[in-house]
Chain A
Amino acid sequence: MALLQITEPGQSIDPHLRKRAAGIDLGTTNSLIACVRAGIAQTLPDADGSHMLPSVVRYTEDGIIVGQQALNKASLDPLNTIVSVKRLMGRGIKDVMTLGDQLPYEFVGIDEGMPRIKTRSGDVSPVEVSAEIIKSVVCRANDTLAGDLDGVVITVPAYFDDAQRQATKDAAQVAGVNVLRLLNEPTAASIAYGLDTGHEGVIAVYDLGGGTFDISILRLRQGVFEVLATGGNSALGGDDFDEIIAQWLVQESGYSGKLNPRQFRGLLMQARVIKEDLSATDTIDIDVSHGDIQFQGSLTREAFNELIRPLVAASVKACRRTVRDSGVDLNDIDCVVLVGGSTRVPLVAEKVGEYFGIEPLSNIDPDRVVAIGAAIQANILVGNKADDEMLLLDVLPLSLGLETMGGLSEKIIARNTVIPTTRAQEFTTYKDGQTAMLIHVVQGERELVSDCRSLARFELKGIPPMVAGAAKIEVLFNVDADGLLSVSARETSTGVKASIEVKPSYGLSDDEITTMLKASFEYASTDASQRSLIEARVDAGRVIEALSNALAEDGLALLPADDIRLLNDAIAQLTGLIDSTDHKAITHGIEMLGRASEDFAALRMDAAVHKALAGRQIEEVDNEI
Chain B
Amino acid sequence: MNLNQNYFELFGLPIEFRVDTDLLNDRYLELQKEVHPDNFAAGTDQEKRLSMQWATFINTANVTLKSPLARAIYLLELHGLQLKNNPELPPDFLMQQIELREQLESIEDADANLEKLDDFKREVRSVMSRIETSFALAIGEDLAMAERSVYEMQFISKLLVSADHLEEKLLDY
Inter-chain contacts of A597 with B (CB < 8 A): 44, 46
Contact across chains for A382 and B41 when beta carbons are under 8 A apart:
yes
With A481-B36, A609-B34 known to touch, is A382 a contact of B42 (CB < 8 Å)? Answer: yes
**Bound complex: CA A181 to CA B1 (Å):** 28
Among A321, A546, A604, A610, which residue has its beta carbon within 8 angstroms of that of B42?
A546
Contact across chains for B47 and A605 when beta carbons are under 8 A apart:
yes
What residue in chain A is nearest B31 (Cβ atoms)?
Answer: A612
What residue in chain A is nearest B51 (Cβ atoms)?
Answer: A605
What residue in chain A is nearest B36 (Cβ atoms)?
Answer: A391
With A151-B41, A546-B42, A601-B44 known to touch, is A222 a contact of B29 (CB < 8 Å)? Answer: yes
Contact across chains for B43 and A546 when beta carbons are under 8 A apart:
yes
Contact across chains for B33 and A616 when beta carbons are under 8 A apart:
no
Contact across chains for B63 and A417 when beta carbons are under 8 A apart:
yes
Within 8 A of B (CB), among A607-625: 608-613, 615-617, 620
Interface residue stretch chosen among B53-61, B87-95, B109-117: B53-61
Q: Does B38 belong to the interface (CB within 8 Å)?
A: yes
What residue in chain A is nearest B9 (Cβ atoms)?
Answer: A613
**Bound complex: CA A267 to CA B51 (Å):** 52
Among B32, B45, B171, which residue has its beta carbon within 8 angstroms of that of A393?
B32
Inter-chain contacts of A224 with B (CB < 8 A): 29, 33
Q: Does B140 belong to the interface (CB within 8 Å)?
A: no
Inter-chain contacts of A431 with B (CB < 8 A): none
Contact across chains for B1 and A598 when beta carbons are under 8 A apart:
no
Q: Does A420 belong to the interface (CB within 8 Å)?
A: yes
Q: Mark B1-14, 1 if CB is under 8 A from A, else 0.
A: 10000000000100
Contact across chains for A547 and B31 when beta carbons are under 8 A apart:
no
Q: Does A299 belong to the interface (CB within 8 Å)?
A: no
With A422-B60, A613-B27, A616-B27 known to touch, is A481 a contact of B55 (CB < 8 Å)? Answer: yes
**Bound complex: CA A601 to CA B50 (Å):** 8
Q: What number of A residues sit within 8 Å (CB to CB) of B?
A: 50
Contact across chains for A181 and B173 when beta carbons are under 8 A apart:
no
With A418-B62, A481-B37, A616-B12 known to touch, is A542 a contact of B31 (CB < 8 Å)? Answer: no
Q: Does A478 belong to the interface (CB within 8 Å)?
A: yes
What residue in chain A is nearest B40 (Cβ atoms)?
Answer: A546
Contact across chains for B12 and A181 when beta carbons are under 8 A apart:
no
Contact across chains for A481 and B52 when beta carbons are under 8 A apart:
yes
Within 8 A of A (CB), among B154-173: 171, 173
**Bound complex: CA A547 to CA B43 (Å):** 8
Inter-chain contacts of A611 with B (CB < 8 A): 34
Q: Does B30 belong to the interface (CB within 8 Å)?
A: yes
With A391-B36, A392-B38, A602-B50 known to touch, is A609 a contact of B59 (CB < 8 Å)? Answer: no
**Bound complex: CA A478 to CA B59 (Å):** 12
Q: Does B35 belong to the interface (CB within 8 Å)?
A: yes
Inter-chain contacts of A321 with B (CB < 8 A): 173
Q: Mark A589-610, 1 if CB is under 8 A from B, else 0.
A: 0000010011001101110111
What residue in chain A is nearest B2 (Cβ atoms)?
Answer: A606
Contact across chains for A605 and B50 when beta carbons are under 8 A apart:
yes
Within 8 A of A (CB), among B135-154: none
Within 8 A of B (CB), among A352-394: 380-383, 389, 391-393
Main DSSP-derived SS at the A contact region: helix
Contact across chains for A180 and B41 when beta carbons are under 8 A apart:
yes
Among A151, A420, A547, which residue has its beta carbon within 8 angstroms of that of B52?
A420
Contact across chains for B56 and A420 when beta carbons are under 8 A apart:
yes
**Bound complex: CA A151 to CA B42 (Å):** 9
**Bound complex: CA A321 to CA B35 (Å):** 32
Inter-chain contacts of A151 with B (CB < 8 A): 41-42
Contact across chains for B44 and A609 when beta carbons are under 8 A apart:
no
Contact across chains for B60 and A594 when beta carbons are under 8 A apart:
no
Q: Does A513 belong to the interface (CB within 8 Å)?
A: no
With A222-B29, A616-B27 known to touch, is A604 a contact of B47 (CB < 8 Å)? Answer: yes
Among A320, A389, A478, which residue has its beta carbon within 8 angstroms of that of B33?
A389
Shortest beta-carbon distance from B36 to chain A in Å: 6
With A478-B56, A480-B52, A609-B1 known to touch, is A594 a contact of B37 (CB < 8 Å)? Answer: no
**Bound complex: CA A422 to CA B61 (Å):** 11
Inter-chain contacts of A393 with B (CB < 8 A): 32, 36
Contact across chains for A419 and B59 when beta carbons are under 8 A apart:
yes
Contact across chains for B35 and A418 when beta carbons are under 8 A apart:
no
Inter-chain contacts of A612 with B (CB < 8 A): 27, 30-31, 33-35
**Bound complex: CA A615 to CA B37 (Å):** 22
Inter-chain contacts of B45 with A (CB < 8 A): 594
**Bound complex: CA A605 to CA B46 (Å):** 10
**Bound complex: CA A598 to CA B30 (Å):** 24
Q: Mark A531-567, 1 if CB is under 8 A from B, else 0.
A: 0000000000011001100100000000000000000
Q: Mark B56-87, 1 if CB is under 8 A from A, else 0.
A: 10011011000000000000000000000000
Within 8 A of B (CB), among A11-67: 19
Inter-chain contacts of B50 with A (CB < 8 A): 601-602, 605
**Bound complex: CA A597 to CA B45 (Å):** 10
Inter-chain contacts of B171 with A (CB < 8 A): 320
Q: Does A421 belong to the interface (CB within 8 Å)?
A: yes
Contact across chains for B47 and A546 when beta carbons are under 8 A apart:
yes
**Bound complex: CA A17 to CA B168 (Å):** 54
What residue in chain A is nearest B173 (Cβ atoms)?
Answer: A321
Shortest beta-carbon distance from A586 to chain B in Å: 15
What residue in chain A is nearest B23 (Cβ atoms)?
Answer: A616
Contact across chains for A605 and B35 when beta carbons are under 8 A apart:
yes
Shortest beta-carbon distance from B2 to chain A in Å: 8
A-B contact pairs, 19 of them (CB 8 A): A180-B41, A381-B41, A382-B42, A392-B36, A392-B38, A418-B62, A420-B55, A422-B56, A546-B47, A550-B47, A597-B44, A605-B54, A606-B1, A608-B35, A609-B34, A612-B33, A613-B27, A615-B30, A616-B12
Nearest first, the 4 closest Cβ-Cβ pairs linking A and B are A381-B41, A608-B34, A601-B46, A481-B37
User: With contacts A393-B32, A419-B59 known, what are 15 further pairs, Cβ within 8 A?
Assistant: A382-B41, A389-B33, A391-B38, A393-B36, A418-B63, A420-B56, A421-B56, A421-B60, A480-B52, A594-B44, A594-B46, A601-B50, A605-B54, A611-B34, A620-B12
